[in-house]
């Protein structure tokens, strides 16, 4: 007899029965339970070429599709970015060039088609900002500054001195010299010389006259 009895055989038989009754167990070990977008994150703001990373390696994988749509679109319209027949696990699925679309809010959808005809989706929301600036956050109000009381300034009291208290000195009036009138008896040097020559001529004339008279008497 086996030293451990019939327990190992019973355990092996139980595992075989479990695998036969639930064939999904081996498939689950090969991939993830659901598709997922790992980058960018939900709510991110993106621009330019964006690498979309994710996982499509799920049980019964048949193919995958990556598409985008407008946020709030009730028509369920999608625009395909990439499709593949090979599963990936946390790897780059496609590169999305966001410069070919207008700025705004979008939804990114990763869809995995299964072998039984069903689908599994993973979605995230994004903001595309290639041509417009993101909204500027509203600045918070600065705290009010409390004025600090300043010490009072001491202003000296003005002292008024009355006119009666101020000694005054009578002003001394100085005589202003006035110009003297011209002296009527004053003789200028020119007048002196002119009188001298006039006298000399008169004396000379008298001498000539007396000489002439004397000659006449002699004759």
Helix, strand, coil shares of the chain, percent, nearest 5, are: 25, 25, 50
Average pLDDT, the chain: 78
Q: Please indicate whether residue 124 or residue 191 has the higher confidence score (pLDDT).
A: 124
Average pLDDT over residues 8-28: 51
Q: In this predicted structure, what is the pLDDT of residue 17?
A: 47
| Residue 120 vs residues 8, 33, 35, 63: alpha-carbon distances, Å | 40, 10, 7, 11
pLDDT in tens, 93-143: 999 999 999 999 999 999 999 999 999 999 999 999 999 876 676 777 666
Average pLDDT over residues 42-63: 96
Q: Where are the domains of the chain?
A: 20-128
Do 112 and 66 contact (CB within 8 A), yes or no?
A: no
Q: Which CATH architecture has domain 20-128?
A: Sandwich (2.60)
pTM for the model: 0.50
Do 120 and 111 contact (CB within 8 A), yes or no?
A: yes
């Amino acid at each position: 007899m086996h030293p451990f009895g019939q327990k190992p055989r019973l355990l092996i038989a139980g595992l075989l029965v479990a695998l036969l009754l639930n064939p999904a167990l081996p498939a689950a070990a090969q991939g993830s339970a659901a598709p997922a977008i790992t980058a960018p994150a939900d709510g991110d703001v993106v621009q330019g070429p964006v690498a979309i990373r994710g996982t499509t390696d799920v049980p019964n994988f048949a193919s995958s599709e990556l598409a985008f749509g407008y946020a709030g679109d009730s028509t369920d319209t999608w625009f395909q970015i990439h499709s593949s027949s090979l599963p990936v696990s946390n790897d780059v699925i496609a590169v999305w060039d966001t410069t070919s679309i207008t700025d705004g809010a979008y939804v990114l959808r990763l869809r995995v088609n299964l072998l039984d005809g069903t689908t599994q989706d993973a979605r995230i929301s994004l903001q595309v900002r290639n041509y417009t600036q993101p909204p500027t956050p509203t600045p918070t109000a600065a705290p009010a500054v409390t004025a600090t009381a300043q010490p009072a300034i001491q202003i000296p009291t003005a002292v008024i001195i009355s006119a009666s208290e101020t000694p005054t000195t009578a002003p001394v009036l100085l005589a202003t010299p006035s110009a003297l009138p011209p002296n009527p008896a004053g003789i200028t040097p020119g007048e002196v010389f002119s009188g001298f020559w006039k006298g000399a001529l008169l004396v000379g004339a008298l001498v000539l006259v007396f000489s002439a008279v004397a000659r006449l008497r002699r004759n």
